[in-house]
Amino acid sequence: MSEWRKLPLSLTELCIDTTLRCGQSFRWQKIDDEWNCVLHGRLLSLKQDESFLHYRVAWPRNASSSRKPTSSPKAKDGIEIKQEDDTEALLGHYFSLKHDLTALYDQWSESDPNFKKKAPKFTGIRILSQDAWETLVSFICSSNNHISRISQMVHKLCIHYGPLIGHIGDEAFHDFPSPQALTGKSVETHLRQLGFGYRAKYIVQTAMAVSMQKPEGWLESLINPDNPGWAVVSIPTEDEPITYKRAHEELLLLSGVGPKVADCVCLMGLGWSEAVPVDTHVWQIAQRDYRFGKAKTKTFSKAMYHSVGDHFRQIWGPQAGWAQSVLFTANLKSFAEQATANPEPVGITVDIKQEAESESMVSAKKRQATASIEQIKVEYDEPSNNRRISRKRRKIRS
DNA sequence: AATGGACCTTGTGC
DNA sequence: AGCACAAGGTCCA
């Protein structure tokens, strides 16, 4: 293990205690106030105080057991940089530290009174830039499932199929398995035995698609070029540049990947910060706090799915997925105590009262009051104005 | 194209 | 204790 190092970082810019527990990553383990996880072939430990993020790193003795042994960055002259040296850069990428979170919270609070009300108790929540493949498999596991069980399943994947990186006490830490590692003949049966249920088949089929059917580097080609991945060489293509919409469509072709999982991968694994995964929580939030139509149907349609995302993108802007994660966390049962606790700093409740009289509150209420199922469907169609869409709109109204 | 069930298993609340 | 129900949904008929 290296010595502890530190990055100057306030708790409002990043709170690892919340960010690492809110259902984005399922692999971090807290041991005695330290968060531990294998990231890109190294065992990372984090702890935080009011002013600093402290970190240390341990590399496996046998570097070849790492999934990406050749991925360590090289200097321009070809000399390999000491491996530890890129860990700070890795953290900066993983937590997307280039974004000013306080400024973003201010912006979302200004355009959304509900965000302004909920966010003060949930500061420092960031969207993680995770490995695309890990994100894909993790959220295939997430379907119709609890966060605790998802974590359990992801842990089992690593233990049984991922390379061992190191130990903390008696606890073994593995990296996430490669797609190839999950394509074996007996994997599906084994995963069922391990309690994956019907997701076992999805995982194996998707692993086969990514490692055998899709071209090399396909998943990485879906990464937002403005938010590039870690240690991923972008392969220039003759195709038109990738968009969020196309990345989403491509992911939908995979087994076990529907619109919600595809959005999770877009947001947390591919750097598309406008992606808003609409799950049961976000649907509850949309209905309860944003006057979305009370649907009689338990499962909402594809049009409904997109209308919710479009609505939030309209309110929160191009980083809507980041704002969504704050309200999502505030809505989690495991954070219920935090949501209802009296805020420590005085003055916040005063701000909320003042906000009730503000211009944005009034206009937002007016906008929300008109929302109904019909309105939602129309709104969904409005961004485009081609012929196909307008025909669709007529159909809905008739 | 849209809608209703089935689906594995575990955690939670009564 | 034991049972119903929900869980960061997706697939298929």
**Residue A395 and residue A388 in contact, taking contact as beta carbons nearer than 8 Å:** no
3-state class (DSSP) for residue A296: coil
| Chain-centroid distance, C-alpha A315 | 19
Q: Please tell me the predicted confidence (pLDDT) of residue A77.
A: 47
Would you state the pLDDT for residue A250? 98
Whether the CB of A258 is less than 7 Å away from nucleic strand C comes out as yes
Q: Stated in angstroms, how far is A202 CA from C13 C1'?
A: 19
Residue A46 CA from chain centroid, whole number: 19
Which own/partner contact pairs does A359-366 have at CB distance under 8 Å and 24+ positions apart? Answer: A360/A110, A360/A111, A360/A112, A360/A113, A361/A113, A364/A112, A364/A113
Rounded-to-integer distance, Cα A272 and Cα A226, Å: 9
Protein-contacted positions of strand C (CB under 7 Å): 6-11
Distance A197 CA to B7 C1' (A): 8
Q: Which two tokens stand for residue A26?
A: 């399922």
Cβ contact A281 with chain C strand, < 7 A: yes
- Which residues from 261-300 of A have any strand B atom under 7 Å from their CB? 297-299
A382: Cα separation from own chain's centroid: 28
Contact A110, A358 (CB under 8 A): no
A287 φ, ψ (degrees, to nearest 5): -75, -45
Q: What is the pLDDT of residue A76?
A: 46
Pick the CATH number of A101-379+384-388 from 1.10.3720.10, 3.90.930.60, 1.10.340.30, 3.40.50.720: 1.10.340.30
A201 is catalytic: no
Q: Which nucleotide is nearest to A143 (CA to C1')?
A: C9
- What is the structure's pLDDT at A294? 66
The domain limits of chain A are: 101-379+384-388
Q: Is the CB of A398 under 7 A from strand B?
A: no
Q: How many CB atoms lie within 10 A of CB A180?
A: 14
Q: What angle do CA A268, A269, A274 make, to 5 degrees?
A: 50
Nucleotide nearest to A264 (CA to C1'): C8
Q: What is the pLDDT of residue A162?
A: 98
The reply to whether the CB atom of residue A333 sits less than 7 A from any atom in nucleic acid chain B is yes
Strand intervals (E) in A188-301: none
CB neighbourhood size of A93 (10 A): 20
Q: Which residue has its C-alpha nearest to nucleotide B7's C1'?
A: A198
Alpha helices in A29-146 (DSSP H): 87-94, 101-111, 113-118, 132-141
Residues of chain A scoring pLDDT < 50: 66-72, 74-81, 345-398
Strand B reaches within 7 A of the A145 CB: yes
CA distance A134 to A364: 38
